[in-house]
Chains A and B, each alone.
Chain A
Amino acid sequence: ETGVTQSPTHLIKTRGQQVTLRCSSQSGHNTVSWYQQALGQGPQFIFQYYREEENGRGNFPPRFSGLQFPNYSSELNVNALELDDSALYLCASSATQGAGSEKLFFGSGTQLSVL
Chain B
Amino acid sequence: DQQVKQNSPSLSVQEGRISILNCDYTNSMFDYFLWYKKYPAEGPTFLISISSIKDKNEDGRFTVFLNKSAKHLSLHIVPSQPGDSAVYFCAASDAGGTSYGKLTFGQGTILTVHP
Chain A residues within CB distance 8 Å of chain B: 4, 31, 33, 35, 40-45, 48, 50, 55-56, 58, 90, 92, 94, 97-99, 101-109
Is B17 positioned at the interface, with any CB of A under 8 Å from its CB?
no
Complex Cα distance, B89 from A25, in Å, reads 22
Q: A31-B100, A101-B100 are in contact. List 9 more A-B contacts (CB 8 A).
A: A33-B101, A33-B102, A40-B107, A45-B102, A56-B101, A92-B43, A102-B49, A104-B103, A108-B41
Query: Contact at B46–A105, with CB atoms within 8 Å?
Result: yes
Enumerate chain A residues within 8 angstroms of B105, measured Cβ to Cβ. Answer: 35, 42-44
Enumerate chain A residues within 8 angstroms of B64, measured Cβ to Cβ. Answer: none
- Interface range on chain B (Cβ under 8 Å from partner): 20 to 34
B 92-104 binary contact with A (CB < 8 Å = 1; else 0): 0101001111111
A-B CB pair tally, cutoff 8 Å: 75
Query: Contact at A42–B106, with CB atoms within 8 Å?
Result: yes
B106 to chain A, nearest CB (A): 5
In chain B, positions 25-73 with a C-beta closer than 8 Å to chain A are 32, 34, 36, 41-46, 49
Point out the residue from B44, B45, B46 that lies within 8 Å of A43, measured CB to CB: B44
Enumerate chain B residues within 8 angstroms of A58, measured Cβ to Cβ. Answer: 102
Query: Contact at B101–A108, with CB atoms within 8 Å?
Result: no
Query: Contact at A45–B43, with CB atoms within 8 Å?
Result: no
Enumerate chain A residues within 8 angstroms of B89, measured Cβ to Cβ. Answer: 42-43
Complex Cα distance, B45 from A43, in Å, reads 13
B8 to chain A, nearest CB (A): 14
Query: Contact at A108–B42, with CB atoms within 8 Å?
Result: yes
Complex Cα distance, B41 from A107, in Å, reads 10
Query: Contact at B43–A31, with CB atoms within 8 Å?
Result: no
Enumerate chain B residues within 8 angstroms of A103, measured Cβ to Cβ. Answer: 34, 46, 49
